[in-house]
Amino acid sequence: MNEPETLLSLSGLGKTYETAAERLEVLRDVSLTVARGTTVVVTGESGCGKSTLLNLVGGLDFPSSGRITVQGMEIGDMGEEELSRYRNSHVGFIFQFHFLLRDFTALENVVIPGMVGGARMQSLRARGEKLLAEVGLTRRKDAYPHELSGGERQRVAVARALMNEPLLILADEPTGNLDEGNAEIVRDLLFGLVRTQGRTMVLVTHDTGLAARADIHCVLSAGRLAAR
């Protein structure tokens, strides 16, 4: 039987912030190997460095030490233009706040990653409508963010993250701003879509209840990552 393909590899990853007053080591010697199609949940207390870890994997920040490899690509070797292409085509981001553009409809928000990639709206519309249908928002495709509930806005954000069929989904407390009813809907949709579409996901949260849904559960504490 063939070994599963490694999609994401972190090796000796460290992140330190230095100011004139102090030196803060947020991550130290973090290593992790994630196979394609795997869901990973990282839990830990607020402020332990979970968001920093995602920002490094997503190419939004740079490590102080160590290596990050996604499908054989070394993130640290990329220039800004290559990093921009990586973020747009290989990574789907979902944050605690939806970050929808208020002057764009739900459908227009969903297809934005495709437009950034150079595709035309007409060719993107069918996939955007399909994704909105999968998150239960077909009838809300022409609604603007202020016309949507908090749960609906976050479901649009999930659809947007999947628009470019990314290799990797990075989710930072995606249900943190929702009531329990809407949070459960978004959890079910997110894990369901990631698995049915064969995506790989790293989700960080302080909610240990989410860990039961993951293939791998890791805990981040004192800058170190350990499997639970």
**Tens-digit pLDDT profile for residues 153-184:** 999 999 999 998 898 999 998 888 888 888 88
pLDDT in tens, 47-99: 888 999 999 999 999 999 999 999 888 988 888 888 888 888 899 999 888 88
* pLDDT of 11 above 90: yes
Q: Torsion angle of alpha carbons 84, 85, 90, 95, nearest 10°? A: 30
Q: What HEC string does 102-163 produce?
A: CCCCHHHHHHHHHHHCCCCHHHHHHHHHHHHHHCCCHHHCCCCHHHCCHHHHHHHHHHHHCC
Residue 3 has what pLDDT?
66
Residues 213, 208: Cα–Cα separation, whole Å = 10
pLDDT for res 102: 92
6-227: CATH, from 3.40.50.2300, 3.40.50.300, 3.40.50.720, 3.30.70.100: 3.40.50.300
Report the pLDDT value the prediction gives residue 156, as an integer from 0 to 100: 94
